[in-house]
Amino acid sequence: MGKVRKTKPSRVRRSEPVDNTSDEEEQLPVDSKENALQTILDQLQAADVEEKYCGLQTLALMIENPENVPQVMARGLVKAAAPLLLDQASSVRNATAGTLRNLSTVAMDVCDAMMEQDIMTPVTCFFHEHAESWVPDPGSKTKDEDIDTFIQCVNLLLNLCESSDLAIKYLGQSRILDILPRYLDLGTFNSDIAIAVLQCLFVVVEDNPTAMSKIKTNAERQLETLLRLEGNDPTVLLLKTLSAGVIINTCGNKTTLPPGVISEIVSILGTTLSVDHRLICSQLSSSVPLSDDSGKVEPPKGKAAQQLESQLKSVLEILTAQQSAIEIIANICSCEDNDEPLGNDSSESDDGEEDICENGDESVLAEDKLPPEVMEALISLEVFEKVWARTQLPAQNVLLILKEYEGSQLIYKRLLTLQTRALLCINNLLSTIPIENIGGVNGVYKIWVDVGKLVFKQDTDNVNLSESATAVMRAALDKIKFRENGNTSDSSVFSDLALSDIEIMLNGIKVCQVPEIRANLIRMIGILALLLVNNLNDVTSNVIVVITEFILEQAHKENEVWVLAEAVDTLVDLYSEDETDILAAKVNLVEKLTSLAPIFKNKIRQQKRLPKEYKVLVSTASSNLPRFIKYKKDRLSRL
């Protein structure tokens, strides 16, 4: 059956907004918004430095509200502001870089709109004119400002390239990738600069042959030096982890790296993930000032303020390093042919055959796709356990404290992102690590139950969390189903599963508004029913009937043709077993699928523009359905 591929862990390295507004410029004009936009435009085009700076500050304040962004883009303010990256005044360059970087974090489509307003031309010119030979001048009054401007521009470049293939193309045609490696020299530049550059390279090099070649030529020595830094303080761990990611992405193929390098990289990732993120966040919450009865917070001053700032930075660096480590591991463990670039998930799929990757004429288990030294390192360093630990958030009171204090809100957001990325990584690890090395059937079943609590027993509006969690639940059942090359005889772990537990899942599907999550859940309950087929009794038969009737009902209501195809595919998989003939007759499966077939065909005609992987799923389900109906009808006629 055709399957939907696993979603490759999307990058959540998009640099967060920075506060570059000053106290004096925090009031918007009293005029209407339209007049305010015109005023900003006039100020940006003025000759006076103060006028330009004031316009940038007002623009920065305006885009803090995402609702204002469409009007900002429509008035062409990016096209007016971006050339100020090349302004002679350091303060103007800094304000421009910070404002544009903040704007690029709003949404992917905003980056596309920025590209339409020719943002890449001044960004490229900034690096060509200001970065090719620049070294921070210790005696300069604007040293810190200039360093911040460079970092903001690097982060802006990262966001644009992460969102736009056109930005990647322009990057390859520029000299930027020849310039950036010089900033990895910690003897000349500080760690903040090196970290920003590494984060950018981590994104732009992946699946980009032009960038791979340039970085391999220009940065190989610097990356190896950073990889072997001594010490395990947060900054060093982040530098080493990002360097490991760039090295892997630069090579593009894990089999071309010497075994010793692969083992060294996995060891670094394991060390990064060994830091107890819950503990350091709990310790940080003890240092964060709390609000008084009136809701006011008295921020620390003097030495206490410096200590808190240092602690905040260290915790953020650890969480960033762990997120990067998890993304690297997820890409290492993606199911792919060895001759494809690392991170290419075009051969991935999500169930049934998902543990099997096609390689020419052979079908190879995903567990056998990793080089032995990589598998050995992952198992010996207990990487699965360490990634799983990242799916667990700190205590609720700790989260509330971090969320309420302005200085730690970014850490709160990073914790949620880390949890989501860890779940996506677990999804890949489940397909890769042999089941005996992750606790056997009982261990995987416990993962399924624990993740289910995130999806069904907590009120959450975090769509990314729900999607990644349901993907893990689906992968966990696949792991149980296809262990030992397809032996599904033991479903005893589900013997205590009550119909009420199933109903919670079914209700979750009914109210779900996200197609990807619906598809995961439909496939998951179908796999669950298939597991129960091997242990048929009155209770399990009743559960299978309830699941079947629910999927059929949902299929008739489903608007997305590819989700409907997933439902059809699930039912075909479930009832392909001959042991299900009696149950098929009980639910009138053939008649109901026969009535569903024309609805399915009609939706296929209506929804022709689909991503490639969905087209494969729809096509396969469409061709299988009539054959299956004919086959099952023949079998049921003999009952």
Domain-embedded: residue 99: yes
**Segment 298-302 mean pLDDT:** 85
Percentage of the residues of the chain whose pLDDT score is greater than 70: 86
Does residue 359 carry a pLDDT above 80?
A: no
417 and 524 belong to one structural domain? no
For the segment 27-46, what is each residue's pLDDT rounded down to a tens digit?
Answer: 444 457 888 899 999 999 99
Looking at 218, 238, 253, the residue that finishes a domain is 218
Place of tokens 């360097």: 243
Place of tokens 């993930």: 273
Q: Phi/psi of residue 139, each to 5°?
A: -90, 0
| Shared-domain flag, residues 47 and 141 | yes
Question: How far lies 40's CA from each of 35, 50, 63, 92, 156, in Å?
Answer: 9, 12, 12, 14, 21
Decide if 78 contacts 119 (C-beta within 8 A): yes
More confident call, 579 vs 173: 173
CA dihedral 163, 168, 169, 173 (to 10 degrees): 150
CA 203 – CA 327 distance, rounded (Å)? 11
Position 444 in a domain: no
Nearest-angstrom CA–CA distance, 586 and 534: 18
Q: Which two tokens stand for residue 294?
A: 């009136």
- Does the pLDDT value for residue 329 go beyond 90? yes
- Identify the CATH number of the domain in which residue 77 sits: 1.25.10.10
The conformation of residue 290, written as its DSSP 8-state character, comes to P
What is the pTM for the complete model shown?
A: 0.84
412-464: pLDDT as tens digits: 999 999 999 999 999 999 989 999 999 998 899 899 989 988 877 665 667 88
End position of a domain, from candidates 400, 433, 466? 433
Show the beta-strand stretches assigned E in 392-454. none
Q: Apex CA 606: angle with CA 603 and CA 612, to 5°?
A: 85
498 and 387 belong to one structural domain: no
Instruction: Tell me if 452 is assigned to some domain.
Output: no
End-to-end CA distance of the chain: 27
Given a contact cutoff of 8 angstroms between Cβ atoms, the answer to whether 14 and 159 are in contact is: yes
- pLDDT for the residue numbered 17: 59
What is residue 500's predicted lDDT score, i.e. its pLDDT? 74
In a domain, 357, yes or no: yes
CA 347 to each of CA 423, 424, 432: distance values in angstroms, whole numbers, following the listed order: 20, 17, 14
Please check whether residue 476 lies inside any domain of the structure.
Answer: no
- Helix boundaries (H) for 129-183: 143-163, 165-173, 176-179
Strand-pairing partners, residue 359, are 362
Nearest to 387 by CA among 416, 438, 426: 426
For residue 447, is it within any domain?
Answer: no
Q: Does 407 reside within a domain?
A: yes
Is residue 406 within 8 Å of residue 468, measured between CB atoms? Answer: no
pLDDT at 496: 65
Is the distance from CB of 69 to CB of 113 less than 8 angstroms? no
Distance CA 450, CA 386 (A): 16
Q: Does residue 232 share a domain with residue 214?
A: no
Q: Rounded to an integer, what distance in angstroms lies between the CA atom of residue 328 and that of residue 421?
A: 11
CB 246 within 8 A of CB 205: yes
Q: Using the 8-state DSSP alphabet, how is residue 407 labeled?
A: G
- 34 and 137 belong to one structural domain: yes
Q: Which structural domain range is residue 121 located in?
A: 1-218
Rounded to the nearest integer, the mean pLDDT of the chain is 85
Look at residue 466 in the predicted model and tell me its pLDDT: 86
- pLDDT the model gives residue 31: 52
Answer yes or no: do 428 and 502 share one domain.
no
Cite the DSSP H helix spans in 164-276. 165-173, 176-179, 191-204, 209-227, 234-251, 259-273
**What is the tens place of the pLDDT at every residue in 190-219?**
999 999 999 999 999 988 999 999 999 999
Residue 7: per-residue pLDDT: 39
Give the tokens for residue 393.
């958030």
Instruction: Please check whether residue 329 is in contact with residue 375, taking contact to mean a CB–CB distance below 8 angstroms.
Output: no
Q: What would the pLDDT profile of 97-137 be if each residue is shown by its tens digit?
A: 999 999 999 888 899 999 999 999 999 999 999 999 999 98
Tokens of 339: 């001759």
Which pLDDT score is estimated for 261? 84
The answer as to whether 175 is a domain residue is yes
**Does the pLDDT at position 482 exceed 90?**
no
Res 488 pLDDT > 80? no
629 and 551 fall within a common domain = yes
What confidence category does residue 399 fall into, taking pLDDT thresholds of 50, 70 and 90?
very high
In the predicted model, is pLDDT for residue 410 greater than 80? yes
Note whether 313 and 165 are same-domain residues.
Answer: no
Which residue in the block uniquely carries the two structure tokens 């544009």?
100
Q: Which of 166, 196, 218 is the last residue of a domain?
A: 218
Higher pLDDT, 510 or 184: 184
Is residue 193 domain-shared with residue 244, that is, in the same domain?
A: no
Please give the Cα distance from 594 to 606 (Å, whole number).
20
The predicted model gives 38-58 an average pLDDT of 94
414 and 318 share one domain? yes
Residues 31, 158 within the same domain: yes
Distance, in Å, from the CA atom of 148 to the CA atom of 266, rounded to the nearest integer, reads: 32
* pLDDT (0 to 100) of residue 562: 94
* 577-635 confidence digits (pLDDT tens): 888 899 999 999 999 999 999 999 999 999 988 888 899 999 999 999 999 999 999 99
Instruction: Report d(CA 447, CA 62) in Å as an integer.
Output: 45
Give tens-digit pLDDT for 208-247. Answer: 999 999 999 999 999 999 999 999 999 999 999 999 999 9
Asked whether residue 16 carries a pLDDT value surpassing 90, the answer given is no
Do residue 243 and residue 120 come from a single domain?
Answer: no
Interacting residues of 128 by C-beta distance below 8 A, sequence separation 6+: 174, 175, 176, 179
How many folded domains does the chain comprise? 3
Residue 363's H or E segment, with its range, is: strand 362-365
C-alpha dihedral (236, 237, 243, 244), degrees to nearest 10: 150
Give the position of tokens 């980056």.
111
User: Quick one: which of 380, 412, 630, 424 has its CA closest to 516?
Assistant: 424
